[in-house]
Structure 1
Amino acid sequence: MTIFLLVISGLYALFTFVLWITWLRIPSVYPPAQATDGPLITVVIPVRNEAGNIRNLLHDLSRQTYTRFEVIVADDSSTDATLAIVREYAQSASFALRPLPLTNERTASPKKRAITQSIAIATGDLILTTDGDCRVGPDWLASFAAFQVQTGARLVSGPVTFTDERTVFDALQTVEFSSLIGSGACTMQLGVPTMCNGANLCYVKEVFAEVGGFAGFDHLASGDDEFLMHKISARYSNGVRFLKSPEAIVRTGAHQTWRGFYNQRKRWASKWRAYESYLPSLLAVFIFLCNVVPVVAVLGWWLNYLNGNVTLLVIGLKLIPEFLFLRQILVFLQKKSSVNVIPMTQLVYPFYVLFFGLAAQGKGYHWKGRNLT
């Protein structure tokens, strides 16, 4: 058992160290001082019951330094005033704003339907998706436009983090989420993309049609981001890039309730069984094992099956490289205050991974007032 624990811990330390070095080698990108010429961008915002948030996002869009864009807000049968707010805002908006009301028909993936129908009427060369509860900076669009033109990327993934943390629970979510953003960015840089986030995702409209859109995984409630990225990456081997730019950061609110957090993470974890590529599934299993190992090591030491020095080595091989990597990501995301919470997150995370790894085996979850599978 000792050899197994040390091998897994060593592999994880090497893996995390590679991610850390890879992150440092991703060049930071800054938008030009004036970006008035470039591709037309269609911002697609699928929403459901976002009356308390959508106006803030529309205000952010009205302050963009890049003006060659239109916005489609696809309202998925909201039961609050979301659609009315968007329609009212459209009457005086400084940009082209099109509300798109969707019928309340039953579908396996409401968000994929909203994006697909939005793209069908979009006039932009680039599609840029975000969520109704997000906030963006004034150079958000300029960053994506300049980067896509510069690199010719077919799909560009942008950074996402949370708004200001008010509780320890918020800070824990920030650290955990930063690990996903950082890992996804590094695997893109290495040419083997594994994950991205639909709250800040840009792709060429023609490429969406080329790969058949969401066909093949439209029966899944989740995956409008990652599965599409994998399809595009399969066709364009060097076509998926990460935009490492502070101006491109999208911010959203952390979950305030355990139930909301649970349903979102269960929705994310449930995707891994549907991956066609073995790499994301193998990576998920590897991360699961790496988080089980420290727990097993501590139990082994407590039951006198494992030497104390070996236990400390197993734990150190996980915690030290992980801290260095997470700190770098948090600093980039302008979340330096959350660095102090990394050790607490590392303490909780193995049990978190175990819990959601098992929870993902069950089907169904509640999301946006609906029961989905």
Structure 2
Amino acid sequence: MLFITFCVFASVVFIQFLYYVVVFGKFAFSKPQKSTPKRIPVSVIVCAKNEEENVRRFVPLLAEQDYPDFEIVLIDDASSDDTLEIFEEFEKQYSNIRLVKVENNEAFWGNKKYALTLGIKAARKEYLLFTDADCRPSSKDWIREMTSRFTMQKTIVLGYGAYEKLPGFLNKLIRFETVLTVVQYFSWAKLGHPYMGVGRNLAYKKEEFFNMNGFIEHMKIRSGDDDLFINQAANGKNTTVCYSTESFTYSEPKKSFKDWFTQKRRHVSTAKHYKAFDRFQLGLFFVVQLLFFILPIALLAFQFMWIYVLAIIGFRYLFTWITLGVAAGKLKEKDTMYFYPIMEIVLIFTQLNIFITNIFSKPVHWK
């Protein structure tokens, strides 16, 4: 029995090697990107619901982007605070801002996809660049960098939506999880199998939206205006990634574990609607991550081939730390790797807790 356990453990590490080195290495060890600036017309789309403090701070940063041809489409999704009034002030202040007011609709109440659909239809430009109301671009060249990845064939661009660096373990854990997530979906995209993107930093040509009939196939699912749409529309021919430092966006992370846990429950619940292969590879990745921490305990408890077990563990940490460390460097998140083994353990068992919790109750979605 112990020998079988050892064989399973060795197989788990081999599968992890394939993920981290073969798959994730496509992003981690890729050459730096060279941007080719373009002058394509862009509509920056921001959907907000009760975000008065954030939009007051961040909309001016969008309006001041160094780009020759862009508009900003501000969507107020029936806010009950002063978000709409602030948007109206900006509309008067900046000539390239257009405002879309969304009234409460009984059929689509609280559905962000409905609000985004109205904003996309109102957009006058052919290329759409999305970010959230609580996000700020890392530079005045954000639009320039994201649009530089568009070509005649590449009509979907996946960007990096980072979180602000703050003191404390929770902040590092949140950013570590974000790094791991982006390494996964960037790498699969570079392999020709994109499966998700994040609405904090995402761009696509308007025709992609209408080719898919918008969000119609998953309109009843409250979340997934970003990842479910990309899962549906993206493929190896039309999708690329952008990870230059100037293309990042930053948003404020959750300040309490409870709030972050709630946020991640919502994200995980959406993944069950991905295509079959994407659900399989994500599920397999999580299972082998979990087994890596469970199986050695039994083997070492009985001191079964303990030297080989420790050697395999060391080898596993060597290739995972190197791959994620290089990737984190590309994303300017090196500090998240200082306590990598601890971060990984906490994250894996948090994800297990989220999975179990979601079985018994539904997560809360768009405010």
* Residues 154 and 232 in structure 1, CA contact (< 8 A), matched pair in contact too: no
Single out whichever of 239-248 and 295-304 deviates more from structure 2.
295-304
**Which piece of structure 1 moves more, 174-183 or 288-297?**
288-297
How much has 1:257 moved relative to structure 2? 1.6
Change (3 A) 1:141 1:272: same
Q: Which moved more, 1:113-122 or 1:13-22?
A: 13-22
Decide whether the 8 Å contact of 2:28 with 2:327 is kept in 1. Answer: no
Structure 2: state its 5+ residue gaps: none
**Kindly tell me: are residues 206 and 311 of structure 1, through their superposed partners in 2, closer, same or farther at Cα, counting changes over 3 Å?**
same
The amino acid that maps onto 1:139 is D
Contact 2:65–2:140 (8 Å) recurs in 1: yes
Question: Alignment length, in residue pairs?
Answer: 361
Superposition TM-score, scaled by structure 1 size = 0.90
Counterpart secondary structure, 2:196 = coil
Give 1:158-197 correspondences, 5 Å limit.
Answer: 158-197=159-198
Judge conservation of contact 1:129–1:201 (CA < 8 Å) in 2. Answer: yes
SS class of match (1:99) = strand
Q: Contact between 2:300 and 2:306, CA under 8 Å: does it hold in 1?
A: no
1:22 matched to 2:26? The reply is yes
Which residue does 1:258 correspond to in 2? 257
Cα RMSD (Å) of the superposition? 2.2
Whole-angstrom CA distance in 1 between matches of 2:360 and 2:40:
43
Partner of 2:145: 143
2:9 paired with 1:5: yes
Partner Cα distance (1:45, 1:100) in 2:
10
| Preserved CA contact (<8 Å) 2:153 2:237 | no
Superposed, 1:345-364 pairs within 5 Å as 345-364=343-362
Q: How does 1:40-119 map to 2 (within 5 A)?
A: 40-93=41-94, 95-106=95-106, 107=108, 110-119=111-120
Give aligned-pair identity as a percent.
20
Match of 2:330 in 1: 332
Runs of at least 4 residues off by over 4 Å: none
Kept in 2, the 8 Å contact 1:272–1:281? The answer is: yes
Residue by residue over 1:207-251, the C-alpha shift from the partner in whole angstroms, topping out at 9 and shown as x without a partner, is 2101211121111111112222122235xx410111121111111
- CA drift of 1:45 comes to 0.8
Distance 2:81 2:309 in 1: 53
Cα 1:360–1:108 shift into 2, 3 Å: farther
Native 8 Å contact 1:10 1:317 kept in 2: no
Rate the CA distance shift 1:67–1:110 in 2: closer, same or farther, 3 A.
farther
After TM superposition, the score normalised by the length of structure 2 is 0.91
Mapped contact 2:67–2:141 kept (Cα < 8 A): yes
SS of structure 1 residue aligned to 2:192: coil
The 1:309/1:359 distance shift into structure 2, 3 A limit, reads farther
Compared with structure 1, are the counterparts of its residues 49 and 341 closer, same or farther at alpha carbon in structure 2 (3 Å cutoff)?
A: farther
Deviates more, 1:334-343 or 1:208-217: 334-343
